[in-house]
Amino acid sequence: GAVVSQHPSWVICKSGTSVKIECRSLDFQATTMFWYRQFPKQSLMLMATSNEGSKATYEQGVEKDKFLINHASLTLSTLTVTSAHPEDSSFYICSAEPALQETQYFGPGTRLLVL
Amino acid sequence: KQEVTQIPAALSVPEGENLVLNCSFTDSAIYNLQWFRQDPGKGLTSLLLIQSSQREQTSGRLNASLDKSSGRSTLYIAASQPGDSATYLCAVKVTSGSRLTFGEGTQLTVNP
């Protein structure tokens, strides 16, 4: 149980385009989902926390207009990188936390390459 | 602000060795601590979760201990195998419902 999926696993796009990444909890309802970014050889950096039906809370230094997060249901959160540029190339990982549990379950990650 | 540090950053051992990975945190008032494994290009797999009231957790060849007063946790891996090669991350949660704060990880290589 407690499986989180991400789609797509890989995406290559041209500079200036927008990219949407989906995060789904497959067998549980997630009241809270988290989006992380990871650069090579570095740890995870929390970008934002999203709660179903409300606006996401962004970490300091993360542009909310560039990284749009929507948590429309208890099983789906999306991250849209708007007008992507090469510096946005990274590994994006989501996690989901079930209600009344204090552990996060992580997705397999999405690698974004902006040319 | 909670900070998490992991030592060593990288470790290479021959197969069969017992090894210890270290994690320290600056604020001892934590809610829980979790150890994760990350394979290259993959997401995180939870290994062990220790609540603040617990001293250790065990799963198979893995044993994690927690000493809140000193701000330390260790992950002990017994009889290491090449399949254990991965990056190990520890993360702390300060309060119920709060974010996870991650360490930088220890990259482990077990040589056959």
Q: Looking at beta carbons, which residues of chain A come within 8 Å of B100?
A: 34, 46, 104
- B65-83 pLDDT, tens per residue? 999 999 999 999 999 999 9
CA closest to B45 among chain A residues: A106
B44–A contact, CB cutoff 8 A: yes
Which residue type, as a one-letter code, is found at position B72? R
Report how far residue A10's alpha carbon sits from residue A61's, in angstroms, rounded to the nearest whole number: 25
Average pLDDT over residues B40-52: 92
**Distance from the first to the final alpha carbon of chain A:** 37
Query: Radius of gyration over alpha carbons of chain A, in Å?
Result: 13
Res B35 pLDDT > 90 = yes
Q: Please check the confidence at residue B7 and state whether its pLDDT lies above 90.
A: yes
**Which three-class secondary structure state does DSSP give residue B93?**
strand
> Which residues on neighbouring strands pair with residue B38, listed in sequence order?
B44, B87
Q: Using an 8 Å Cβ cutoff, are A37 and A67 in contact?
A: no
Residue A24 in 3-state DSSP?
strand
- Per the model's pLDDT, the better-predicted residue between B61 and A73 turns out to be B61
Work out the minimum CA distance from A16 to partner chain B, whole angstroms: 25
Q: How many residues does chain B have?
A: 112
CB atoms closer than 10 angstroms to residue B79: 11
Residue-wise pLDDT tens digits, A59-75: 999 999 999 999 888 99
Question: Percent of chain A at pLDDT above 90?
Answer: 72
Closest CA relative to residue A8, chosen from A108, A98, A103: A108
A98/B44 Cα distance (integer angstroms)? 17
Task: Using CB atoms, pick whichever of A49, A102, A109 lies closest to residue B96.
Answer: A102
How many angstroms separate the CA of residue A108 from the nearest CA in chain B? Answer: 4
